[in-house]
Amino acid sequence: MTARRALVAAASATALALPLLLPHMATASSPAAAREASSGLEPPAKEAVATGSGGAVSSVNPYASQAGIEVLRHGGNAVDAAVATAAALGVVEPYSAGIGGGGYFVYYNARTKTVRTIDGRETGPARMRSDSFVDPSTGKAIPFDEAVNSGLSVGVPGTPATWQQALDEWGTVSLGQALRRATRIADEGFVVNDEFRAQTKLNEARFRDFSSTAELFLPNGELPVVGTRFRNPGLARTYRELSREGVAALYRGDVGRDIVRTVQNPPVAEGSTRKVRPGLMERSDLAGYEVVRRSPTHTTYHGLDVYSMAPSSSGGTTVGEALNVLENFHLSSADKAQALHHYLEASRIAFADRNRWVGDPAFSDVPTEELLSKEFAKDRACLIQPDSTLTSPLAPGDPLSPGQGCTQGTGTQEPYEGPSTTHLVASDRWGNVVSYTLTIEQTGGSAITVPGRGFLLNNELTDFNFTPLTAGVPDPNLPGPGKRPRSSMSPTIVTHAGKPLIAVGSPGGATIITTVLQTLVNRLDLGMSLPEAVAAPRISQRNRTTTDAEPAFLDSPERTALEALGQRFVLAPQTFTPSPEIGAVAALEFGPGGKVTAVAEPKRRGGGSAMVVHETP
């Protein structure tokens, strides 16, 4: 019996039943010890796997996971915990997420057995045009680095509105209550670890070019020292304003005023030679921002229901299409190289289609239903051969006219997308589940901190294509006023018979899609437990001539077997992370009797933090 069939059989027998995973890997002597550690300066104990009941949280940071667990222990639900965790991540992971960015919130309601989503993606200001990233003097796209480190790249933030909408719709606490723990961490400080220092060092040159950023993140002009306390009184003050006034403080109040002032007049440090372009945002852009309630994407995979985020994100359609393609083949751990070959080819195909068809559905006719159709997937699957590799860039298919056969054409290369972002998952004692990915784009965002406010602004608008990818072909991802740039965020919830089985997601720019896909393949097809599926070496094919690979994969026997089939691998870049890593998964898996296993990265990004309310062996 395959791992997937065993999982489904167990689920059918006991409603939520799944096989027992790896033994509990505690690094604290007890839950009480973790709570005691979290009450002071020292961070809570860090665990990669925690199993128990009463609810769970997994994120990249123990301070953040503990914030969510505290909400659950005091009677809050998964939505309350998710917002509390996200707010804490804005303090302890400020280079990946915060109120200066946006994200996508996927929610499973245990009472109705339905999945709902919130699109809190940033938007282009009203003054943004399709050629806003084109230099009028040359007619060419401005240099990417020049776009990133500018007010021009800053989209209208959606994270605060997402928190408020989620709490209003499904939560049980106020925004102020959800922000309480994060505000305290910002006030009292957190302990600087190796990862925080390393990420600061990677951004040091550009951080020094902005006075407000250098003042906050380079105390006394130096990198933060591991083991010292890092305080952020500006962010604590901002969170208190949001607690008192609600998100109107940002979208119509003083916080928003300060954001717009910073975007239009970036605080360039004296002596900096960096060319910093002003942004286009006005206060009216903030006042007019709205999140969008969207139906999730949905497909099935061998009897399981897979829900994720619809466009403006490409995550749900691309992961879903790749799974639909893979459903035409038998993947097994008995021939792991062939399974990985099919995974790479399915990802290559899905990315070719994603780049052509997916954008903001308010501005383009995105064929979401057709991209996720089984007929289209079968048509695309015929391109895959067991003994050879497709050539990238592969041409897209036409989901509006499937049945075109298996002729391979030439397409366009995947555009750049920043590798940062963060992800969290949360569940509660009632069975509600959240999978939430949020971001300020690349690590460090635009590098511009709002003076006195304690948070970085995003550079999300660089996710737009600066110029059309293919001349004469409509491009759904060009900039525009009020438009959401295409994203790869893929917060995912897998259910069986209406009950949750797995919640999963990851940071990593475009590699988010392949990370979520590979984790699901590892778990559902290759017989790995969820902790093993998360820890396994990653490879990421995104319709490119080469496939990014982590060092552990490059040392594996599967590399040789796949290269014999024509696959080509390169070491994953470490442009904005200290190590050549791909993604950083946070996931949950649900078992019988209310048991849940929370899983975080054991090593990537310094290791994540998985916690449950009531631990069991």
**What amino acid positions are annotated as catalytic residues?**
421
DSSP 456-484: BPP-GGGGS-SS-SSTTS--TTS--TTPP
Using an 8 Å Cβ cutoff, are 455 and 263 in contact?
no
> What is the residue whose two structure tokens read 């290269």?
563
Tell me whether the omega of the peptide bond preceding residue 393 falls within 30 degrees of 0, making it cis.
Answer: yes
Compute how many other C-beta atoms are within 10 angstroms of the C-beta atom of residue 417.
23
Which amino acid, one-letter code, is at 267? P
Phi-psi region of 180 (alpha: psi -120 to 50; beta: other; left: phi over 0): alpha
Q: What is the three-class DSSP state of 88? A: helix
3-state secondary structure 212-237: HHHHHHCHHHCCCCCCCEECCHHHHH
Residues 6+ apart with CB under 8 A from 446: 148, 149, 150, 151, 153, 154, 440, 456, 457, 458, 459
Do the Cβ atoms of 201 and 329 come closer than 8 Å?
no
Report residue 344 as tokens: 């790479």
> What whole-number distance in Å separates Cα of residue 226 and Cα of residue 222?
12
Query: Dihedral through CA 291, CA 479, CA 321, CA 401, nearest 10?
Result: 120
For tokens 């006034």, the residue is: 245
Q: How many CB atoms lie within 10 A of CB 369?
A: 12
* Strand boundaries in 136-205, DSSP class E: 140-141, 190-191
Query: Which value, in Å, is the radius of gyration of the alpha carbons in the chain?
Result: 23
d(CA 366, CA 221): 48
* Token pair of 298 as six digits: 């949905």
What is each CA distance from 335 to 306, 332, 546, in whole angstroms? 25, 6, 22
Three-class secondary structure of residue 98 per DSSP: coil
CA–CA gap between residue 270 and residue 265 (Å, rounded): 14
DSSP 3-state of 102: strand
The residues near 411 (Cβ < 8 Å, ≥ 6 apart) are: 352, 355, 356, 392, 393, 394, 395, 396, 543
- Tokens coding 441: 């784009």
User: What is the DSSP-derived secondary structure letter of residue 15?
Assistant: S
502's enclosing H/E stretch is strand 499-505
How many C-beta atoms surround the C-beta of residue 521 within 10 A?
25
Q: Which helix (H) or strand (E) holds 196?
A: helix 194-202
Could you give the CA distance from residue 314 to residue 414 in angstroms, rounded to a whole number? 13
Ramachandran category for residue 452: left, alpha or beta (phi over 0 → left; psi -120 to 50 → alpha): left
Distance from C-alpha of 311 to C-alpha of 366, rounded to nearest angstrom: 8
